[in-house]
Amino acid sequence: MARTRSFTVHTAPWYAQTHHTADGFRTPGSSAVPASLLEVTPWLLRRALVPRTHQPAPHQPVDLARLRTTPERMRVTWLGHASLYIQVPGLALLTDPMLSQRASPVPFAGPARQVPPPLSVADLPGVDLVVLSHDHYDHCDRPTLEALHQAFQPEVLAPLGVGGILRGWGFDPVTELDWGQYVATDTYQLHCTPAKHFTGRGLATRNATLWASWYFTTAHTRFYFGGDTAYNTHFQTIRKQLGAPHIAALPIGAYKPRSIMAPVHMQPAETVQALIDLDADYMLPIHWGTFDLADEPLDEPPHEVQAAATTADVADRLRVLDVGESFTLQPTAASNEA
């Protein structure tokens, strides 16, 4: 497929832009707000002083030979955290690429990677599109993005305001979208959809840029990328307006303590409810086991989401991957790749 070098942005009629305010972006209809620095600082200090034993996500090297083949419908490979390498015939896209050792503005401090990257940028057979959910360091990683730009010059799709950050790093082209907007080619559409989160790469930039989830469709496949989000009614809205996805990649980690995390991150039972709201055929858990960002053990989220899915009678839709593992949507059914 010839790469499109610029997109026309379309606005869907179904979404009212009520998340814009004079003080930045906000989540409509939600009274919960992210914890302030005053609230978060004592928790961060306690975490820094108490040693933790890490049990990161299971991981395996990516099957590079298989990665270089074209799937008949869709292949999704989890690279850790919220990074997914998604392949459909004629197109490869990467969500929130993060292969660095720290999620931080500096290389010597900040959350350290607990699982080795399952591949390098040089191992990727190609990247046509990069899709970003928001500007936080664990989702918008400059070294990884710069390596991708040098290797593949991919198009970048990002929520409003994030393009300014990327252009400051020398990226072009970058297309910014608002919730309810989408880009379309003759073979696919990418919709910028709501999420419940916050943004900021510094103390003075909170909510100056937008956060988002993304809905990707081809003639035969619908894929939803939840990015980083708390639970809210947007899952029901997305299902109503865009249809049930075949695959939903949804975050399950960084949920304790709830006093701090509830406004911005789902706990596993809420993620299962999001799966039900979306009515997805399959759910791939992401945003767990890679970086130690919260108080729950790194290996707790998949056990909790499995228990919640069993209680809700949707355990057959759950596919928990190792870092480096792929899930393939077949022409008539989906199955894990061996």
| pLDDT attached to residue 2 | 38
Average pLDDT (311-330) is: 97
Closest by alpha carbon to 328, among 125, 73, 84, 89? 73
Residue pair 251/272 in contact by the 8 Å Cβ criterion: no
Instruction: Tell me the pLDDT tens digit for each residue of 125-135.
Output: 999 999 999 99
Beta bridge partners of 213: 193
pTM for the whole structure? 0.94
**Residue 175 one-letter amino acid:** T
With vertex at residue 244, the alpha carbon angle to CA 239 and CA 250, rounded to the nearest 5 degrees, is: 80
Closest by alpha carbon to 160, among 141, 190, 188, 135? 135
| pLDDT attached to residue 304 | 98
| pLDDT attached to residue 5 | 53
The radius of gyration computed from the CA coordinates of the chain, to the nearest angstrom, equals 18
Confidence of residue 32 (pLDDT cuts 50, 70, 90): low
Domains located in the chain, CATH noted: 55-333 (3.60.15.10)
Beta bridge partners of 42: none
* Number of Cβ atoms within 10 Å of the Cβ of 32: 12
